[in-house]
Structure 1
Amino acid sequence: MTKLKAAIYARFSTDMQRDASIDDQIRLCKEYASRQGIEVVATYSDRATSGASLMRSGIQSLLRDAGAGSFDLVLAEALDRLSRNQADIAGLYQRLQFQGRMIETVSEGSISEMHIGLKGTMNALFLKDLAAKTHRGLKGRALAGKNAGGKAYGYKSERKFDTDGELIRGDRNIDKAEAAVVTRIFTDYANGVSPKKIAGMLNAEGRPGPSGKGWGASTLHGNRERGTGILNNELYIGRQIWNRLTYVKNPDTGKKVSRLNPESAWVITDVPELRIINQDLWDAVRTRQGAMKTKNTDVPIWDRRRPRTLFSGMMACGCCGGGYSKISRDHFGCTANRAKGDAICGNTKTIHQRELEDLVLDAMQHTLMDEAALKIFCEEYVKELNRLRAESTAGRDVLERELSKVTKDHGTLIDAILGGISPKQVKDRMNALDKRRTEIKSKLQTSPAPDLILLHPKVAINYRERIATLIKGLSEPDGMDEAKDALRSLIERIVLRPNEETGRLSVELEGDLSGLMILALRADGYRKTQKSAAADSQASDIVRELVLVAGVGFEPTTFRL
């Protein structure tokens, strides 16, 4: 018989573990494969990576090769090496099963649905319990004035050992070189120098930032309310605040997002020996931050999101993924390149504001709603909608026929009572018929007879007319803000990438198709009236129905300009 081909996967979780752990897992898997007569054809691994997410290079490479048929089964030391997330391990199992691949582990043997359910639950509970224990331990460190996670710029870890030779964790002291940079940042800012200019000077001098890379303006100003950024870190005045933020993993992206905890949950500890900034300098910085607020809002300038130009904040560099912002009066350039230099991003290409706006507006009017493609879409939509409506109508017909029969039987019993039969003899039957008749009427009311909604390719023409109206509104003082907001709402992102052939920037426009469709189905331009509000509601209903028919939401579609 032909030997089964296996791919070995190994993983360890944290930096405190070692690469030898990977080697040990691979060795155990190879010994198991040898005993089972399995041929090992590939190995994959992830080092110092949590098993709570599938966003790992090793596991992703394994999944790609599994789809290509490179092996017959996946072999690991234990199921939790593949993933500790209950949903991820179930999805991984289903995906491999669909591709005809098996999972075996040294600990559990051949994996089945039972293992996925039981072990997946146990691993998920392990992660939850581990998180609670870790949080409890970190809180103890914070209360003792020790480092409870992450090393703040300006400090270095202090290595101490107890009487048993065990490393004492959490101790730190001031790094004099970094502390001098912190003091300089506070002093320059208090003297009126902007965070962007301070970051630029530090980068020009080749001083590494907190991440070991270049400095950016946001690294300095951060977010005052959340206590992020060099200028907002109260540790510099000898006051440690722990548990200000909670980090929660987004199940759709696998990335962690921060949430501000209530002040009652913060752990505040005085650590005067770690003070770097004197109180007068700290107060001067806070005073300047307080002055840099607009007259009509308490939101600081650096936290405002009001667009200065038509597409401000919507442009992204195709090389580094960072933003594109104003670098002169009329030109946009890569923010990372300008702030941190070529070492971070080599995209030095710029684009004139008028050229960009003309390109995007022209594309929105003539490219984002292609008539030929829309015609095919409408035809397929109507076919699928008719099929779904036919199924719905069939179910409604059954209920209506049953209602007619129940009503007729109920009437027959009433006639029998009038004919002399004792009501006691038919009481139970009449009650049952009454109850069933009420149930059927309720079902028919909650699922009324559907009105057929048809989409005609003419919506493409309507869309272009709406866009033309919006573009015209940009030059009208009364409607300029509404037109700008409406146009921005139709775009997901504008990606600018250097084109080696032309020596200029290529522009890719990602449009929000649901927004485009709603605009095309509106009754009148973009102005909000009672009539247009009703049209918006109807258009939204149609778009939601399109999503249901398609089975998925509208994905942003990219158009190269």
Structure 2
Amino acid sequence: MSSIARGGRYCKYLRKSRADELREAMGEMETLAKHDKALDELASRLGIEVSCTYREIVSGESIQDRPEMQKLLAAVRSGEWDGVLTMEVERLSRGDSTDQGIVGKAFLFSDTLIITPMKVYDPRSESDMEYFEFGLFMSRREYKAINKRLVNGRIASVREGQFIGKTAPYGYRKAVIDKMKTLVPDEATAPILKEIFDLYEGGMTMRQIARRFSRMGIPAPGGQDEWVCTSLSKMLRNDVYIGKVHWRRYVYKTTLADDNVTVVKQSVPNSAPLIYDGLHEPLVTLEQFERVQMALKDNKAPKKDGTVLKNHYSRVLVCAKCGHGLRYDEHRANPYLVHRNSDFCRTRSTTLAKVDDAVVSALRDMVSDFEVELSDPSRSLRAKRFEADTKRLTAAIEAAKKSLGDNYDRLERGILSETEFVDRREVLNRRIDEATAELESLEAPDTSDLDQKISNLKELIAALRDKNVSGMSKNKLLKSIVRRIEYRNGEPGSPDQMQLEIFLK
């Protein structure tokens, strides 16, 4: 049976629960800091040293939504740790039975201890594992019960007309009046919001309004310098401005990916959201809002049946400076990829043929590099980069650990005070944790899939060169292999000096 070894390798896992977030909202101490201190004290009592801390900042229900848990499980499976310190076993998983099984098997097969202030769970002990699994099961039931109460409370608040959104819509700021959450007009942005409705109703297009406000130097929603049509469109359609509040305007549609394992969540509009009269003051009259909705409907371009996709780089090729995609256009029967008109990001457009040539050239270089890697893995750029990064991070960790040891020595000799020692230790431990996390995230070059990658790239090259392959087919093939292509070029009127950077999946 496993036991706590003083010279073993141990780490901490910290995560907030829903109850912790509620207590913090009521003014209690920050949870992760409190738990971090408690686990340090536990490690000190047990006489063990913690060399890494996994801090879960996001609050995700499943493992795939919690990046630090994914890193921890990968390390546990590889046998990196003899034990993991956490406040409760429930902190490790509150997901469904699949998630709980993943967590349980990772600790069981790697013989990794789970150390909590109340109990040490030994994966080789049948009774401990039963207790562990029962704890996760009860945690899941508690999570569902808490979530149900929270949802019911939110629905009740919306029915009362309260605004419970995370951020206030443009033109408002959040407030609490008579213990009720609501919105009040923002002195700086409410007049601008009203002007947007007035201008659009008066015949201005969203593009003209966006350009007008950008040139006037009015900050866009989120603080950006440039206004965009998508933000204006959402504002003009948002009935919060006529005093409404909603519950579940969008819902999550859950499906399984092609591997039948990965859960994919997609936010989609709810066909039947709950809409109530809000407590807040409307910024737009109902009559004006309805006139704007009619104008939006009239200006919406009808969909054409049998539309042919001409830009096979759609949703793949983006401007590296502003992130917007390039649109397809034709000039004298010559296909172009055109950058949008903008006063803030002025990037030269170029012909579709030049982009094709550059992409094909870059893909051929990738094929050559992969073929070199396949014949001699040590010569590849990926291998050299991995080796250099590994050496750099390992050296940084060793240097920080040496400094930590030197500080212990200075403390014993009275050169450092306890306060100075604690401050320096915190800085060095953070440095070690960050370098360790980066080191763990490095992926050694894997040559097992190179044959398939080379085959896929050659297929894509052939498709891009074949005029008989439709734009839709090219686009689908691109999206299956390439994550994105970043486009750089000079300003309009300058020489065409296009540069591309291709990111594969």
TM over 0.5: yes
Report if aligned partners of 2:76, 2:106 keep a CA contact under 8 Å in 1. no
Provide the residue aligned with 2:500 in structure 1.
Answer: 506
Q: How do residues 103-182 of structure 1 correspond to structure 2 at under 5 angstroms?
A: 103-110=114-121, 112=123, 113-115=129-131, 117-150=133-166, 151-160=168-177, 168-182=179-193
Provide the residue aligned with 1:75 in structure 2.
Answer: 85
Provide the residue aligned with 2:293 in structure 1.
Answer: 286
Report if aligned partners of 2:319, 2:326 keep a CA contact under 8 Å in 1. no
Paired residue type of 2:196: I
Q: Cα offset for 1:356?
A: 0.8
Counterpart Cα distance in 2 of 1:465 and 1:158: 57
Q: Cα offset for 1:93?
A: 4.5
Provide the residue aligned with 1:416 in structure 2.
Answer: none
Provide the residue aligned with 1:399 in structure 2.
Answer: none
Counterpart Cα distance in 2 of 1:250 and 1:241: 25
Residue of structure 1 aligned with 2:236, choices 231, 235, 241: 231
Provide the residue aligned with 1:437 in structure 2.
Answer: none
Paired residue type of 2:174: S
Paired residue type of 1:289: L
Q: How do residues 76-475 of structure 1 correspond to structure 2 at under 5 angstroms?
A: 76-86=86-96, 87-95=98-106, 101-110=112-121, 112=123, 113-115=129-131, 117-150=133-166, 151-160=168-177, 168-205=179-216, 207-213=218-224, 215-221=227-233, 229-247=234-252, 256-263=265-272, 266-271=273-278, 274-295=281-302, 307=309, 309-316=311-318, 322-326=323-327, 330-333=336-339, 341=344, 350=348, 352-354=350-352, 355-360=354-359, 467=463, 470-471=466-467, 473=468
SS of 1:8's partner is strand
Paired residue type of 1:356: V
The answer to whether residue 470 in structure 2 is matched with residue 483 in structure 1 is yes
Cα RMSD between the aligned structures? 4.6
Q: How do residues 533-552 of structure 1 correspond to structure 2 at under 5 angstroms?
A: none
Residue of structure 2 aligned with 1:7, choices 7, 11, 31: 11
Report if aligned partners of 2:163, 2:181 keep a CA contact under 8 Å in 1. yes
Paired residue type of 1:25: H
Paired residue type of 1:137: G
Report if aligned partners of 1:52, 1:84 keep a CA contact under 8 Å in 2. yes
Q: Cα offset for 1:186?
A: 1.7
Paired residue type of 1:178: T
Counterpart Cα distance in 2 of 1:307 and 1:124: 47
Counterpart Cα distance in 1 of 2:213 and 2:264: 30
Counterpart Cα distance in 2 of 1:339 and 1:294: 23
Counterpart Cα distance in 2 of 1:464 and 1:70: 40
SS of 1:188's partner is helix
The answer to whether residue 47 in structure 2 is matched with residue 37 in structure 1 is yes
Q: Cα offset for 1:128?
A: 2.4
Report if aligned partners of 2:107, 2:113 keep a CA contact under 8 Å in 1. yes
Residues 283/313 of structure 1: CA separation in 2 closer, same or farther (3 Å cut): same
Which protein has greater RCO, CA pairs closer than 8 Å, 6+ apart? 2
Q: Cα offset for 1:260?
A: 3.2
Report if aligned partners of 1:199, 1:339 keep a CA contact under 8 Å in 2. no
Q: Cα offset for 1:31?
A: 2.7
Paired residue type of 1:309: N
Report if aligned partners of 1:235, 1:274 keep a CA contact under 8 Å in 2. no
Residues 307/128 of structure 1: CA separation in 2 closer, same or farther (3 Å cut): farther
Q: Cα offset for 1:76?
A: 0.7
Q: Cα offset for 1:327?
A: 10
Counterpart Cα distance in 1 of 2:311 and 2:328: 13
Q: Cα offset for 1:30?
A: 2.3
Counterpart Cα distance in 1 of 2:111 and 2:192: 58
Counterpart Cα distance in 1 of 2:86 and 2:72: 12
Residues 148/246 of structure 1: CA separation in 2 closer, same or farther (3 Å cut): same
SS of 1:172's partner is strand
Q: Cα offset for 1:350?
A: 4.8
Q: Cα offset for 1:32?
A: 2.3
Counterpart Cα distance in 2 of 1:181 and 1:53: 43
SS of 1:145's partner is coil
The answer to whether residue 70 in structure 2 is matched with residue 26 in structure 1 is no
Counterpart Cα distance in 2 of 1:28 and 1:117: 24
Counterpart Cα distance in 2 of 1:297 and 1:506: 32
Provide the residue aligned with 1:443 in structure 2.
Answer: none
Report if aligned partners of 1:216, 1:340 keep a CA contact under 8 Å in 2. no
Number of residue pairs aligned between Structure 1 and Structure 2:
390
Where structure 2 has 5 or more consecutive residues not aligned to the other structure, the ranges are 124-128, 375-454, 490-495
Paired residue type of 2:500: S
Residues 247/108 of structure 1: CA separation in 2 closer, same or farther (3 Å cut): farther
Q: Cα offset for 1:35?
A: 2.9
Report if aligned partners of 1:155, 1:179 keep a CA contact under 8 Å in 2. yes
Where structure 1 has 5 or more consecutive residues not aligned to the other structure, the ranges are 162-167, 222-228, 299-303, 343-347, 377-458, 474-481, 511-555, 557-561
Report if aligned partners of 1:331, 1:350 keep a CA contact under 8 Å in 2. no
Counterpart Cα distance in 2 of 1:69 and 1:349: 50
Q: Cα offset for 1:105?
A: 2.0
Paired residue type of 1:353: T
Paired residue type of 1:10: L
Could you report, residue by residue, the CA deviation over 1:170-212 in whole angstroms, capped at 9, with x for unpaired residues?
A: 2332223222121122223233434344344445555444445
198-207 vs 119-128, greater mean Cα deviation: 198-207
Counterpart Cα distance in 2 of 1:281 and 1:41: 62
Provide the residue aligned with 2:387 in structure 1.
Answer: none
Provide the residue aligned with 1:446 in structure 2.
Answer: none
Provide the residue aligned with 1:542 in structure 2.
Answer: none
Larger radius of gyration: 1
Counterpart Cα distance in 2 of 1:197 and 1:93: 58
Provide the residue aligned with 1:49 in structure 2.
Answer: 59
Counterpart Cα distance in 1 of 2:502 and 2:461: 23
Counterpart Cα distance in 2 of 1:195 and 1:136: 38
Q: Cα offset for 1:465?
A: 11
Residues 115/504 of structure 1: CA separation in 2 closer, same or farther (3 Å cut): farther
Residues 128/213 of structure 1: CA separation in 2 closer, same or farther (3 Å cut): farther
Report if aligned partners of 2:249, 2:270 keep a CA contact under 8 Å in 1. yes
